[in-house]
Amino acid sequence: MNRFVDVLIVGSGVSGLYCGLNLRDDLNILIVCKDKLNCSNTYLAQGGISMAKGIDDIPLFVSDTLKAGKYENDLEAVNVLAAESVYNINNLIEMGLEFDRNEDGSLNFTKEGAHSISRIVHTKDNTGESTAKILIEKIKQKDNIHVYEDTFFVDIIEKDNKCIGAILIKENEQINVYAKTVVLATGGIGGLFNNSTNQKILTGDGIATAIKHNIELKDVNYIQIHPTAFYEEGRNERRFLISESLRGEGGILTNINSKRFVNELLPRDVVSKAVYEQIKETETPYVYLDIRFLGEDYIKNRFSTIYEECLRRGTNITKEYIKVSPAQHFFMGGIKVNINSQTSMKNLYAVGETSCTGIHGANRLASNSLLEGLVFSRRAAHLINSTVDKQEIEVSTVEQLNKSIEEMVYENRNLVTGVIQEWGGKLDDQLLSCR
């Protein structure tokens, strides 16, 4: 079966959905996702979204991002991120997203690790879910945007180093989608790990595609470990994230002997290393995070999702320590793109965690992930809007697939893990699952 569209977007996280919403209403757009529309890492994001607090804060925001990234960031991309942050947050507000506010109506900013000031907007502790719901609602209102859920992305269709479409499988049927432009928003690599805060379906499909087609990659050796995921003995499912915003509000990390061992607001890689050292020293697979002193009412209101999820797992965080340990959280590397999200292949864009804009360097600054998805997917959409009319849909012969989805997933896993290791990625053996 063949299908023809103007723009194909693979992925339904913040970057894929926001890209679609910023495309022209006269374009025929198809969004495909491996599971349901809400099954993305965006939906899981708790802490918030960074934004510059006015023009005067832009240099400091840039400085904080560079410092966290060990100055291996792309400076041009970081400047774009900071400069365009306010516009995109205001755009979400205009869409109807209700960020938490102070009594005077001003935005309530919180602080997270490696930020010099409080500049993170949030909706309690479920900012990603709130953002995703607004974007999904808007997508469903668009007559020109169609959605395929439960659809497996196999590969792009290439012709003379130009992307002309993609191969999909839906309900065991192969669908060859031909498009003027393709946008990969396929997410990160958390599904490759035993311990990850990510959705298990995220296995680096976009990265595998880039490897197959010699599309340029960048920084694939940089994988972020989050220091505080809820510890559950013997659990082999997605780890529940304990947001950095708890530490931003004053949460304290101690070892099992109640000894504080680190400045909780240092960059994530530093805090994770300190946690690992305590785990080794005390021969206990977790440390404690204490926020009890914040008060029951405040905790239940500000961190309602975390409170309820921890309670469901047997821990009342208003009265007890939270057992936490590190888990894979974010992929700083990916498909190399410019500030308009263009890859090294013509008519192919990459946005969100599958892309590498260079803003994160060696370590992502807290709450820059959703912002990156917003800023650079909008830039991609604007460039597509101005160039898509010059493109024509092309068709190429595509062979019928003779492999199962399971076989293709296995091959992709091996491709991605192999390339990360070739690049010298420092993968903790307890975290990485090479299947």
The single residue of 239, 247, 268, 378 carrying the catalytic annotation is: 268
**Continuous H helices in 109-241:** 127-140, 205-212
Collapsing DSSP to helix, strand or coil, 17 comes out as helix
268 is catalytic: yes
What CA–CA distance (Å, rounded) separates 120 from 54?
13
**Bridge partners of residue 224, in order along the sequence:** 330
From residue 33, how far is each of 9, 95, 169, 173, 409 by CA, in Å? 9, 23, 11, 15, 15
SS3 104: coil
* Secondary structure element (H or E) that encloses residue 335, with its range: strand 334-336
Q: How far apart are CA 280 and CA 278, in angstroms?
A: 5
**Cα–Cα distance between 278 and 259 in angstroms, integer?**
10
Closest CA to 33 of 161, 178, 192, 139: 139
For residue 44, give the 3-state DSSP assignment.
helix
Give residues with Cβ within 8 angstroms of 235, minimum separation 6.
none
User: Residue 22 in 3-state DSSP?
Assistant: helix
Q: Please say whether the beta carbons of 113 and 271 come within 8 A.
A: yes
C-alpha distances out from residue 288 to 69, 128, 326, 339, 366, Å: 26, 25, 12, 40, 21
Return the amino acid letter for 85. Answer: S
What does the alpha-carbon distance between residue 100 and residue 78 come to, in Å, rounded to a whole number? 26
| Secondary structure class of 32 (helix, strand, coil) | strand
Contacts with 276 (C-beta within 8 Å, 6 or more apart), sequence order: 326
Any idea which residue has 């307890």 for tokens?
Answer: 430
Reading the block at residue 392, the tokens are 């024509």
Kindly state the tokens that stand for 55: 């023009």
Backbone angles phi, psi at 396, to 5 degrees: -135, 160
Residues recognised as catalytic: 268
